[in-house]
Amino acid sequence: MSKCNVVIEKDLVSQEVGFLSFFNGTSWSDLNRQFFDQLAPKYDRLNNVLSFGRHQSIKKKAISRLPVIEGQSILDLCTGSGDIAHIFAAMDPSLNVLGLDASVEMLNIATRKTAQFKKVSYMHGDALNTGLMDASFDGIFIGFGLRNLQSIEAGLTEMNRLLKPGGWLSILDLGKPSGYLKQSLYHLYFERWIPFLGKRVFHKGEFNSFEYLPKSNRYYPNPDVIAGMMSECHFRNITIHEYLLGGIVQHIAVKP
């Protein structure tokens, strides 16, 4: 099996993360969409709590590493509440930014957030099968989205198809801190404290998204494997950048 073709059994993940006790659906994508639809009103607050208020500055830093040029067409895949689209547009209003997401509730928030920017638009769709034309974008950003897709391979293949030759890809997602101290801190914070906080304070009686985070990350490959998958899916010049002690990782690559 090629490294690009790491199969993650999403039926098992649905069970493990507890989707089946809260939502009705037969496919991973259906359950995941219901999860994000119900989370949408709390999503921005959740990010602030989880990242100690640092997710915006991390997203800005990640964007600052990219070879963005005036007037480029950028796809913000799995745009969610539109943070990434907003940062691109605020940085350079000449950019044409399209945000795509499967959750209508998330897109409603994103649309309000970027209403002042004329060149930001949104599309409801599936990152694995966007229906957009080949080679339509100079750059693609996917923030905390790859971990949520039914198939990482299918996602990377679609991103490769959508990029122009020479176009850049940036993947920002959870990482796997290495080393005893970082791993212990990660375990204590993500696997113990955060799920407890979610259950007792943030999500009383609701699906606990604070538990989804560490559980979904257990099934997400480590950064080196993701880099290998990107290479197998024909991306080149792959670099890896760590934030928050490796708790968040960015992959940057180019389509030759």
Ligand X SMILES: C[S@@+](CC[C@H](N)C(=O)[O-])C[C@H]1O[C@@H](n2cnc3c(N)ncnc32)[C@H](O)[C@@H]1O
Question: What does the binding site for ligand X look like in residue numbers (CB under 6 A)?
Answer: 29, 32-33, 36, 78-80, 83-84, 100-103, 106, 126-128, 143-145, 148-149
Q: How far apart (Å, rounded) are the C-alpha atoms in residues 85 and 97?
A: 6
Nearest distance from residue 141's CB to ligand X, in Å? 8
Nearest distance from residue 23's CB to ligand X, in Å? 13
What values do phi and psi take at 168, rounded to 5?
Answer: -105, 150
Name which of 126 and 179 has its Cβ closer to ligand X: 126
Q: How far apart (Å, rounded) are the C-alpha atoms in residues 238 and 58?
A: 19
The CB-nearest residue to ligand X is 80
Name which of 4 and 127 has its Cβ closer to ligand X: 127
Nearest distance from residue 179's CB to ligand X, in Å? 26
Phi-psi category of residue 241: left, alpha or beta, with phi > 0 → left and psi -120 to 50 → alpha: beta
Question: By CB neighbour count within 10 A (0-12 exposed, 13-18 middle, 19+ buried), where does 72 fall?
Answer: buried
Nearest distance from residue 32's CB to ligand X, in Å? 5
HSE, side-chain direction, 13 A CA sphere, residue 63: 23
Name which of 131 and 165 has its Cβ closer to ligand X: 131
Nearest distance from residue 49's CB to ligand X, in Å? 13
Question: How many Cβ atoms sit within 10 Å of the Cβ of residue 247?
Answer: 20
Nearest to 160 by CA among 151, 169, 152: 169
Q: Which residue has the tokens 């480590």?
A: 222
